[in-house]
Amino acid sequence: MPDQPAPPDPTHLPGPSPSRRGFLKVAGAIAAGAAATTVGCNPSSAGGRGEAGERRPSRNAGFDRETLAALGEAVLPESLGAAGRAAAVTAFVAWVNGYDPVAEEMHGYGYSDIRYLPPDPAPAWQAQLEGLDLLAQKKRRKPFAQLDLAARRELVTAALDAVPGERLPDPLGASHVAVALMAHWAASPAAWDLALGAQVGTGTCRTLDGVGAKPLPIAGVTA
């Protein structure tokens, strides 16, 4: 297999200053530039697998899908299109539902210490979704999902003013559901492909056939 391509230059999330107000405008560049992890067939990735890669039963994190979908439309890159943003939200929900809190991490031979994954972040993220909806109803007299895109982005930007950090973290380390959603998409093969302008399929299971072939370009994207 060819070496994994070097990640694009990371783009900083705006800090708690007036520049943060413009972060949603460049969310696509931020997310693609911060794609620093891979997902796919790696059994050690945080998801529905524990020690030895055994599958864990899926659960229901209880997300309000309408509100989460509206959030995805507000923070995910517009270049993905409606179908692409919906697919990213669906993948995020599947990842959270398959996550096994405090599961033993995979470790290599020679490691004596046992490490465990973080606790379940879903309850806090669901509470933040509910908070966005309550804020929308108090400020705009409408549920969050019924607001226009500009109004949704205004509320999300205000909510993220108090979120520390200048770069997208690992999804499990995200302190807000909006950041978690962007970070999860940014770690996906689709984000890598968009950032590189080619169908690389980083982190996905592939056969050895055609490994020497140059990745096909993505129409309309220049790497």
Amino acid at 2: P
> Distance between CA 117 and CA 99 in Å, rounded?
9
Q: Which of 179, 155, 152, 127 is nearest to 13 (CA)?
A: 179
Q: Which of 1, 104, 89, 110 is nearest to 49 (CA)?
A: 104
Task: Say if residue 81's pLDDT is above 80.
Answer: yes
Cα dihedral 62, 63, 66, 67 in deg (nearest 10)? 140
Buried b (16+ CB within 10 A) or exposed e, 17-41: eeebeebbeebbebbbbbbebbbee
> Distance between CA 17 and CA 132 in Å, rounded?
21
* pLDDT score recorded for residue 182: 95
> Distance between CA 177 and CA 133 in Å, rounded?
13
104-120 pLDDT per residue, tens: 877 777 777 888 888 99
170-181 pLDDT per residue, tens: 999 999 999 999
Task: Say if residue 202's pLDDT is above 90.
Answer: no
Q: Name the more confident of 50 and 185.
A: 185
150-162 pLDDT per residue, tens: 999 999 999 999 8
Share above pLDDT 70 across residues of the chain, in percent, rounded to a whole number: 71
pTM of the predicted model, to two decimals? 0.69
23-77 pLDDT per residue, tens: 444 444 444 444 333 344 443 344 444 444 455 556 777 899 999 999 999 999 9
> Distance between CA 104 and CA 118 in Å, rounded?
10
* Burial of 99 per CB tally in 10 Å (0-12, 13-18, 19+): buried
Amino acid at 121: P
